[in-house]
Amino acid sequence: MARAKASELAPTAQASGAPARSSATSSRSGTTTTQRRRATAPGKPTLDLGLSGLPWDLPPGMDPRHVCGVDEAGRGPLAGPVVAAAVILDPARPIPGLADSKALTAARREALAERIRAEALAWSVAEASVEEIDTLNILHATMLAMQRAIERLSVAPRLAQIDGNRAPRLACAVQTVIKGDARVACIAAASILAKTVRDSQLSTLHASFPQYGFDQHKGYGTAAHLLALREFGACAEHRRSFAPVREALRGRGSVRVPVQGWIPDEAAGLSPPDSAAARGAAGDDTGLPDGTDATPSMPPLFDDDWLPA
């Protein structure tokens, strides 16, 4: 399994003065889609970006047109890539109804995703592949997907507001926000784009592997998914570094694979054997103890603190 190229791990600065454009790029590690819409004429920014009564205070002097929200989808599932999105909203065109994607119906998410793509100043969706997840571990792969999404925005942000308590190493300032997808409009928008893209990918994957029911559980470790793993074994899109997949492979006489990281899927009641140690300190939703680097030889991908602008 190949590691990510060093060029993909290094921070990349972007210029923001290019004319409006749209583009789509495909690669072995996933598909990235970016789009930029010309900004509304400058004026006093409106901080209420549609997240009903939950404005987020920006640092003094920070224009929201230079702030991107970042979130991921698919860290806990047993199959498929992890997808990240970055969104810069237009403060002059707030989008009502933005919220944590998990709190919305599928139909509502799709409707909002369409508006975000049409009305945001810039947006980008990127991913880290199953191979990268198994090579780097899920935490590092998630950081890599976020890094790719931010770097491929057509407008260079001055600040990235990121859901959770970990952030990739970037060329701009970083602010992590616990439960940010329910508190910050641009993060909510990113969560909606990431989830709708990943859900669509897993529905497409179902056509190739209908026996697993990917269209229903989207790769999460539900009882039905675990039964299918035991009956049919793992397909190419299953994450072999995750314990339930590894156990299914062992049970069918497959070659044992090394474990580099496994994030418990609490919604499905799954956890590794030593779950207390794996979860780490309270409030750390990465599933790893504070300060743990499961792949010490990897270049640093994330910081917990602010980075210089």
On whether both 189 and 215 belong to a single domain, the answer is no
On whether both 173 and 137 belong to a single domain, the answer is yes
Residues 239, 134: Cα–Cα separation, whole Å: 6
On whether both 51 and 199 belong to a single domain, the answer is yes
CA 286 from centre of chain: 13
85: enclosing H helix or E strand: strand 82-88
Residue-level pLDDT at 121 = 96
Full-model pTM: 0.68
pLDDT in tens, 233-251: 999 999 999 999 998 888 7
Q: Which of 166, 182, 203 is the last residue of a domain?
A: 203
Phi, psi dihedral angles at 88 (to 5 degrees): -110, 115
Residue 4 lies in a domain: no
Residue 29 lies in a domain: no
On whether both 213 and 114 belong to a single domain, the answer is no
Question: Count of domains in the chain?
Answer: 2
Which segments in the chain show pLDDT lower than 50?
A: 1-34, 36-50, 52-55, 253-309
Amino acid residing at 55: P
The neighbouring-strand residues paired with 302 are 168
- Polymer length in residues for the chain: 309
On whether both 106 and 191 belong to a single domain, the answer is yes
Instruction: List, as one string, the DSSP characters of 132-146.
Output: HHHHH-HHHHHHHHH
On whether both 160 and 255 belong to a single domain, the answer is no
Residue 173 lies in a domain: yes
Residue-level pLDDT at 201 = 97
Residue 77 lies in a domain: yes
Residue-level pLDDT at 59 = 78
Q: Which of 169, 203, 237 is the last residue of a domain?
A: 203
Residue-level pLDDT at 58 = 78
pLDDT in tens, 26-57: 333 444 444 544 444 444 333 334 454 344 56
Instruction: Map tokens 């910050």 to a residue.
Output: 184
Residue 51 lies in a domain: yes
Strand, helix or coil at 50? coil
On whether both 163 and 254 belong to a single domain, the answer is no
Residue 277 lies in a domain: no
Residue-level pLDDT at 248 = 83
Contact 125, 84 (CB under 8 A): yes
On whether both 174 and 98 belong to a single domain, the answer is yes
On whether both 135 and 253 belong to a single domain, the answer is no
For residue 143, CA distances in Å to 30, 131, 191, 245 come to: 15, 15, 15, 22
Kindly report the number of other CB atoms within 10 A of residue 158's CB atom: 17
Residues 191, 212: Cα–Cα separation, whole Å: 25
Phi, psi dihedral angles at 167 (to 5 degrees): -145, 150
Instruction: List, as one string, the DSSP characters of 237-279.
Output: TB-TTSHHHHHHHHHTTPPP---------GGGT---TTHHHHH
Q: Which of 162, 180, 203 is the last residue of a domain?
A: 203
Question: Where in the sequence is the domain holding 173, given as residue range(s)?
Answer: 47-203
181: DSSP letter: G
Residue 1 lies in a domain: no
On whether both 71 and 215 belong to a single domain, the answer is no
Strand, helix or coil at 203? helix
Tell me the CATH number at 90: 3.30.420.10
**Paired tokens of 27:** 């690669």
Residue 290 lies in a domain: no
On whether both 60 and 198 belong to a single domain, the answer is yes
Residue-level pLDDT at 31 = 46
Residues 272, 265: Cα–Cα separation, whole Å: 10
On whether both 247 and 199 belong to a single domain, the answer is no
Look at strands 122-128 and 30-36 and give their pairing: antiparallel
Residue-level pLDDT at 249 = 81
**Paired tokens of 45:** 């920014």
Phi, psi dihedral angles at 291 (to 5 degrees): 85, 0
